[in-house]
Amino acid sequence: MENVLELTDVCKVYPKFQLKKVSFSLEKGSIMGFIGRNGSGKSTTLKAIMNLITFTGSVKMNGEDFSKNEIENKQDIAFILGGVNVYQFVSVKSLAQVTSKFYTNWDEEVFKKYLALFNLDVTKKIKELSQGMKVKLNLALALSHHAKILLLDEPTSGLDPVSRDEILQIFLDLVHDEDISILFSTQIVSDLERCADFITYIRDGVIKESTSIKDFVGKYLLVKGDKEKLSATNENKIIGIRVVRDTFEGLIHSEDAKSFSEFETKKPNIEDVMVFNEREAE
């Protein structure tokens, strides 16, 4: 498959945090979830992709250095921050008029199409929109300049379950119908099981995994049982462990399953993999 974005050894040093050789790629026409706890480097990575911060390493879009063609590349990419409320007192129509001036390929007919599809009222002020409608408006603005890559930072943050499901379905439709590629960070990892093809997991500025969802969860098992029956050898094979009274639960590599034959095992979900990997780091 063709990669529309490629990051290679992206590094950024702050006084109390570092991105350390961040490398991963986004396939054309796919959805990638970007996960990690708060402060792990997700937003910094997205800013590096957009060349909003100085960094070392490289970011390529469609095989070419992003920074060398930055103006042209930003016509085809949209960066949407969740939870950021700007221009609260302007109308939807006024915001669209301002936005259109930044893009040579702005398409008013496409904007009208998405206004109708998302049931957006152009006369409403931004402050009058629900969080879900603000996300839809941001998507409508991005798609109206024919963005082919969407970078979304916590796009479903603060949304109720119904609104989240609706937004995720829009993501799926966009990838299927418009051949758009999406990279979105989220703390709501259950959203990824609904729509994502790939997972990139970052911890303390380091990419720990970047793979398909199937492979991300498939290499692990959850194990549960009586803590007293757990030998020291087996405990060392557990990636992260949680103990409640006399019962333990932990994450193991699938190849270690035979060592835990006397315990209950089951397949983990994405959240299990992330939570227990974070416990390993504590």
Q: What is the pLDDT of residues 242-268, one digit of tens each?
A: 999 889 999 999 999 999 999 999 999
Per-residue pLDDT of 166-199, as tens digits, reads 889 989 998 987 789 999 998 888 889 889 999 9
Whether the Cβ atoms of residue 33 and residue 60 lie closer than 8 Å to each other: no
Per-residue pLDDT of 141-170, as tens digits, reads 988 998 899 999 888 877 888 888 888 998
Write down which residue in 213, 244, 268 finishes a domain: 213
Q: How far is CA 38 from CA 43, 187, 281, in A?
A: 9, 8, 14
Residues 227 and 188 placed together within one structural domain of the fold: no
Whether the Cβ atoms of residue 246 and residue 206 lie closer than 8 Å to each other: no
- Compute the mean pLDDT over every residue in the chain, rounded to the nearest whole number: 90
Domain span including residue 272: 219-281
CA distance 16 to 99: 35
Model confidence at 82, pLDDT cuts 50, 70, 90, reads: low
Over pLDDT 90: what percentage of the chain? 61
Residue 86 has pLDDT above 70, yes or no: no
Residues 178 and 236 placed together within one structural domain of the fold: no
Residue 100 has pLDDT above 80, yes or no: yes
Residues 133 and 85 placed together within one structural domain of the fold: yes
Q: How many domains does the chain contain in total?
A: 2
Residue 133 has pLDDT above 90, yes or no: no
Q: How far is CA 191 from CA 38, 62, 164, 167, 187, in A?
A: 17, 27, 8, 10, 9
Model confidence at 83, pLDDT cuts 50, 70, 90, reads: low
Residues 89 and 114 placed together within one structural domain of the fold: yes
Residue 281 has pLDDT above 70, yes or no: no
| pLDDT confidence of residue 282 | 60
Which domain CATH number covers 59?
3.40.50.300
Residue 95 has pLDDT above 60, yes or no: yes
| Average pLDDT for 101-126 | 92
Residues 6+ apart with CB under 8 A from 64: none
CA distance 252 to 93: 53
